[in-house]
């Protein structure tokens, strides 16, 4: 893609919106806008080396992470989260679908939505925008921009999407339901795509929390259905997470699972985790794949995060080749 | 190699303009809605107030509450939740974290508008003794205590709870100590970090405690002016009781009909336990309605001396038989000028 086209059509429009949001403090609404506003620039670089590829791939992201709570006389009205990142990949052979080439630049929306919370204690909050799909463990763990992930794209085909949802924390349980376009980074539906997801769980602050999720989508002509259960248990500095999903991909039976063991230090600036991910699909034949993942995240300061992760294919679907992948990332927020 | 060097250079520049930040993205922030609902069952909503907890607050906490300084992840922007019932504040919820051998313990404190502990709940606690400390047998021992009264629960000059003053199972004592220290720190940080909001709500809370039909309060800016000094010099012609003016705060109490009901007047005095903040509640006709020690009375005798003045209207040194009455006369004199001057 020509640099001029890229600049005009991909980078400038969203960047202008973010800049507008940033310069609002200079306007007459300055004081009100600054109230309850958090904003940080967020820069990260990641190197990914896969054993089956000759060259290392890189991903650099630079963006604004903004969080603003709107309040009225009687309480909070809603929360606006804007996270937009100019993301450059170099030689990234395995990449999300919205990157067209191994060397590409895109403006990537992460979480970019408004959650209206002004309906009182009982009625749901209404979220509109680019939101995280409420399914399984991923919905309860902040994994945005980190190496540590919970296999959501591989399991259900998408991680975040444009649309709307209802959510609420009640005493003893919380829920999150969303209906989105299936466009991923694009607001428009693609060939009748849609994504419906819902998760109900016990409060995630407890040492033991469990959730049940349901999911149905049509993405690129493939219909997926899932029912999932997830659980998190903490004891001292150790955590155990588990997720099981069952369902169908275009009529083929699917059974996926994930188990994580993690340990933090007492200061909680270092996290070590081990994951075992299992995938199974029964078409004409039953195929299974297993991945073992080990990772570490270290935060030497409040601003800096260093992470590394190794992924090994223990077992793959027949058509796929086993590989080992090593990723390292440095992330800085200021 | 060139790419790596270029990257390292960019990050070095970024590090050099570092300030405190949150390592996790802001989408990880969640309001403690369930906790607010549990701590304030009658609440209808809550209002977030985000403020910067900076190095100044950190330094003050470190000096006031050694060795309990704020760890660096506690700096930056933090939220105080004002819990509302319709459009009236009920109290606050402030979540703070403490380092412990079980990792970070995150405690949501419910705080009354007069900055006393109302209750608490663990937002996150990976200790096996969590249930003992969160049981009502322990929690009720902390309810209603202000900063100083929480500090009194420790053996003097130590970080150990005095089991003669507070009952706790020996196995859970270390976690209980983390909780009480967290309570002290939370009250202190709330006062330092949200000073204006706390002052406003504290005056409103006290106004409603002592007057009926309160519509609102109006903070009186710079209450001590030339007029006040002139009047004080007249009333105390033979000598002033010796209070300073740096700790003075005052608020006018307004009724639903728009009329002034009274004034709340605060000043700091050197009493039994060092510098303490007293609050005089004075009706519009000059009657002394109440006198509170906002730090808690440490001596019943001192309390009695001040409360002897309740129900009186003081306007002359001749009516004063002790220092407590002289201090109260001073408060009455200031309030009388404020009512006259600000009514014009």
Query: For B85-110, how does the pLDDT look when each residue is reduced to its tens digit (9 = 90+)?
Result: 987 899 999 999 888 888 889 999 99
* Separation in Å, CA of B156 to nearest CA in chain A: 28
Q: Residue A150 and residue A228: Cα distance in Å, rounded?
A: 13
Span A289-323, pLDDT tens digits = 999 999 999 999 889 999 999 999 999 988 788 89
The model's pTM is 0.87
Q: Residue A118 and residue B303: Cα distance in Å, rounded?
A: 45
Domain ranges of chain A: 1-64+82-108
Which tokens go with A159?
A: 């991680």
Question: In this complex, is the C-beta atom of B259 within 8 Å of any C-beta atom belonging to chain A?
Answer: no
* Separation in Å, CA of B37 to nearest CA in chain A: 7
Using CB atoms, which residue from B23, B34, B35 is nearest to A303?
B23
Mean pLDDT for chain A overall: 90
* Separation in Å, CA of B83 to nearest CA in chain A: 8
Which tokens go with B280?
A: 């005089």
Question: In this complex, is the C-beta atom of B50 within 8 Å of any C-beta atom belonging to chain A?
Answer: yes
Rounded average pLDDT over A189-217: 95
For an interface test with B, the pick among A34, A67, A84 (most B C-beta atoms closer than 10 Å) comes out as A67
Q: Are B96 and B166 in contact (CB under 8 A)?
A: no
Q: Are B26 and A38 in contact (CB under 8 A)?
A: yes
* Position B139 confidence tier, pLDDT thresholds 50, 70, 90: very high
Q: Which residues of chain A make contact with B125, given a CB cutoff of 8 A? A: 207
Q: Which residues of chain A make contact with B15, given a CB cutoff of 8 A? A: 303-304, 332
Count CB atoms within 10 A of the CB of residue A88.
Answer: 17
User: What's the length of chain B?
Assistant: 344
What's the pLDDT score for residue A96?
87
Terminal CA-to-CA distance of chain B, rounded, Å?
Answer: 76
Q: Are A293 and A266 in contact (CB under 8 A)?
A: no
User: In chain A, which ranges are E strands?
Assistant: 37-50, 57-72, 75-90, 104-116, 125-132, 160-170, 173-180, 194-201, 208-219, 222-235, 238-249, 252-264, 270-282, 286-298, 304-315, 324-333
Which tokens go with A301?
A: 């300061």
* Position B12 confidence tier, pLDDT thresholds 50, 70, 90: very low
Span A232-273, pLDDT tens digits = 999 999 999 999 999 999 999 999 999 999 999 998 899 999
* Separation in Å, CA of A174 to nearest CA in chain B: 9
Mean pLDDT for chain B overall: 87
């Amino acid at each position: 893609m020509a640099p001029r086209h890229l600049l005009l059509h991909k980078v400038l429009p969203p960047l202008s919106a973010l800049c507008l949001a940033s310069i609002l403090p200079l306007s007459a609404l300055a004081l009100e806008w600054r109230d309850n506003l958090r904003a940080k620039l967020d820069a990260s670089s990641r190197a990914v080396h896969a054993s089956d590829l000759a060259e290392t791939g890189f991903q650099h992201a630079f963006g604004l992470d903004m969080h603003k709570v709107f309040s009225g006389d009687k309480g909070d009205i809603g929360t606006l989260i804007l996270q937009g990142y100019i993301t450059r990949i170099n030689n990234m052979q395995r990449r999300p679908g919205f990157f067209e080439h191994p060397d590409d630049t895109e403006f990537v929306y992460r979480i970019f939505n408004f959650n209206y919370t002004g309906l009182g204690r009982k009625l749901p909050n209404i979220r509109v925008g680019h939101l995280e799909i409420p399914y399984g463990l991923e919905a309860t763990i902040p994994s945005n921009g980190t190496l540590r992930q919970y296999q959501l794209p591989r399991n259900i085909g998408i991680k975040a999407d444009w649309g709307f949802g209802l959510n609420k924390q009640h005493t003893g349980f919380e829920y999150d339901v969303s209906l989105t376009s299936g466009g991923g980074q694009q607001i428009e539906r693609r060939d009748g795509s849609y994504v419906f997801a819902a998760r109900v769980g016990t409060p995630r602050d407890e040492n033991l929390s469990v959730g049940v999720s349901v999911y149905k989508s049509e993405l690129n002509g493939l219909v997926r259905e899932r029912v999932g259960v997830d659980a998190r248990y903490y004891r001292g500095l150790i955590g155990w997470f588990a997720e099981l999903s069952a369902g169908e991909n275009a009529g083929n039976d699917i059974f996926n699972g994930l188990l994580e063991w993690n340990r933090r230090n007492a200061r909680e600036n270092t996290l070590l985790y081990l994951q075992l991910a299992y995938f199974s699909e029964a078409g004409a034949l039953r195929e299974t794949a297993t991945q073992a993942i080990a990772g570490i995240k270290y935060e030497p300061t409040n601003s800096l995060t260093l992470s590394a992760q190794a992924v090994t294919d223990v077992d793959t679907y027949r058509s796929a080749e086993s590989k080992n992948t090593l990723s390292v990332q440095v992330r800085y927020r200021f | 190699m060139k790419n790596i060097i270029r990257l390292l250079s960019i990050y070095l520049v970024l590090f050099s303009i570092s300030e405190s930040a949150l390592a996790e993205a802001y989408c990880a922030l969640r309001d403690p809605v369930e906790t607010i609902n549990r701590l304030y069952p009658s609440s209808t909503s809550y209002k977030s107030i985000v403020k910067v907890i900076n190095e100044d607050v950190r330094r003050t906490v470190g000096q006031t509450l050694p060795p309990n300084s704020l760890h660096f992840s506690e700096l930056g922007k933090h939220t105080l939740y004002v819990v509302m019932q319709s459009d009236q504040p009920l109290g606050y919820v402030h979540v703070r974290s403490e380092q412990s051998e079980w990792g970070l313990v995150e405690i949501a404190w419910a705080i009354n508008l007069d900055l006393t502990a109302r209750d608490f709940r663990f937002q996150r606690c990976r200790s096996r003794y969590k249930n003992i400390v969160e049981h009502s047998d322990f929690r009720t021992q902390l309810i209603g205590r202000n900063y100083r009264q929480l500090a009194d629960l420790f053996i003097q000059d130590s970080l150990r709870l005095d089991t003669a003053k507070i009952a706790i199972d020996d196995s859970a004592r270390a976690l209980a100590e983390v909780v009480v220290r967290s309570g002290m720190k939370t009250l202190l940080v709330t006062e330092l970090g949200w000073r204006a909001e706390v002052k406003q709500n504290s005056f409103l809370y006290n106004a409603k405690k002592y007057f009926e039909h309160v519509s609102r309060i109006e903070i009186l800016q710079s209450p001590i002016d030339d007029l006040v000094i002139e009047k004080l010099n007249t009333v105390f012609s033979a000598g002033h009781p010796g209070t300073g003016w740096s700790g003075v705060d005052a608020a006018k109490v307004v009724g639903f009909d728009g009329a002034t009901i009274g004034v709340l007047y605060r000043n700091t005095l050197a009493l039994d336990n060092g510098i303490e903040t007293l609050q005089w509640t004075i009706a519009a006709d000059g009657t002394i309605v109440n006198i509170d020690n906002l730090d808690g009375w440490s001596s019943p005798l001192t309390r009695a001396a001040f409360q002897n003045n309740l129900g009186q209207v003081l306007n002359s040194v001749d009516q004063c038989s002790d220092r407590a009455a002289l201090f109260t006369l001073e408060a009455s004199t200031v309030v009388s000028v404020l009512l006259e001057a600000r009514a014009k």
